[in-house]
Amino acid sequence: MQNISPEILTSIQRALDEDIRTGDVTTNSIVSEDATMRGQIIAKQSGIIAGLDVAEACFSLVDVRVAFASQIEEGARVQDRQLLATIEGPARALLTGERTALNFLGRMSGIATLTRQFVDAVAGTKAVILDTRKTAPGLRAADKLAVLRGGGQNHRIGLYDMILIKDNHIDFAGGMEEAVRLAKESGNGIQIEVEARSVQDVKIALGLGIERILLDNMSNEMMKEAVKLTNGKAKLEASGNVTLETVRQIAETGVDYISSGALTHSAKVFDVSLQWIK
């Protein structure tokens, strides 16, 4: 578990506590303490796998004697019925940790699979696919790790690692100029990104020396105009209702980044199962 971040380990422990509480009463009443089992984790669809190491950590936190052996690399493309991992150890631990482990593996692989579809859709352009903060509460680290393993990149992890001045901040401050002034005077030296709702907003942001601009819900024509106006002086990020059907056209406007909350809030859980070997 040495490569699993503390944030993800905390999420795993919380999930195990939620499921097990005072004990797995079904397993503990039927399965003897000294019984052992072997099993295989199998893909039940094609796609991208992420989270085998997280699944392993789930079992290890239940019982360190569980032996987990991944059969593929993280981020690999797999086919239906493909073997993903083998597992062996105390039967009680395997049965108790099974659901939590598969929950993490299925969610992370679903996110990675959808992310790879977005990445493939913009292949040949310069656009980079980004995630957002629209993650499951308490699972952000795992969700964003899955995006990375699907070939995307992470935007800011939380509210603490980038200043993103959005429309509500601008309206509260009374304008973009004042919002940017206050952010710069905070003195924390963190990168500033400003949301632009119009091409005029882009012009204002450029005049303020902003080096990263979020184009919020702009039409493709507006984004092309923003790219031409910016001419490389700032990085442009397209955001708002991005789908697999629209992402290619957005990328072809010339923007640098495309962020989509769908990567983490709308990914379908990847179907995996744990089959026991007698």
Give catalytic status of residue 77 as yes or no. Answer: no
Q: How confident is the model at residue 92 (pLDDT cuts 50, 70, 90)?
A: very high
Q: How confident is the model at residue 187 (pLDDT cuts 50, 70, 90)?
A: confident
Give the domain CATH number at 39. Answer: 3.90.1170.20
**pLDDT at residue 1, as a whole number:** 64
Active-site hit among 63, 216, 225, 271: 216
Active-site hit among 7, 19, 63, 99: 99
Give the domain CATH number at 239. Answer: 3.20.20.70
User: What is the rounded distance in angstroms from the CA atom of residue 74 to the CA atom of residue 112?
Assistant: 10
User: Are 140 and 227 within one domain?
Assistant: yes
- Is 2's pLDDT higher than 90? no
Percentage of the chain with pLDDT > 90? 97
**pLDDT at residue 57, as a whole number:** 98
Give me the chain's average pLDDT, please: 97
**pLDDT at residue 127, as a whole number:** 98
Among residues 236, 235, 53, which one has the least CA distance to residue 149? 53
Give catalytic status of residue 7 as yes or no. Answer: no
Give tens-digit pLDDT for 20-52.
Answer: 999 999 999 999 999 999 999 999 999 999 999
Interstrand relation of 163-165 and 128-130 (parallel, antiparallel or unpaired): unpaired
- Is 144's pLDDT higher than 70? yes
Looking at the 3D structure of the chain, how many domains does it have? 2
Q: How confident is the model at residue 276 (pLDDT cuts 50, 70, 90)?
A: very high
Active-site hit among 134, 197, 224, 248: 134
User: Are 131 and 234 within one domain?
Assistant: yes
- Is 245's pLDDT higher than 70? yes
- Which ranges constitute the DSSP H helices of 130-254? 140-149, 167-173, 176-185, 199-207, 220-230, 247-251
User: Are 219 and 98 within one domain?
Assistant: no
Give catalytic status of residue 252 as yes or no. Answer: no
Active-site hit among 24, 98, 195, 201: 195
Q: How confident is the model at residue 269 (pLDDT cuts 50, 70, 90)?
A: very high
Q: How confident is the model at residue 111 (pLDDT cuts 50, 70, 90)?
A: very high
Q: Which domain holds residue 235?
A: 120-265
Residue 64 lies in a domain: yes
Residue 1 lies in a domain: no
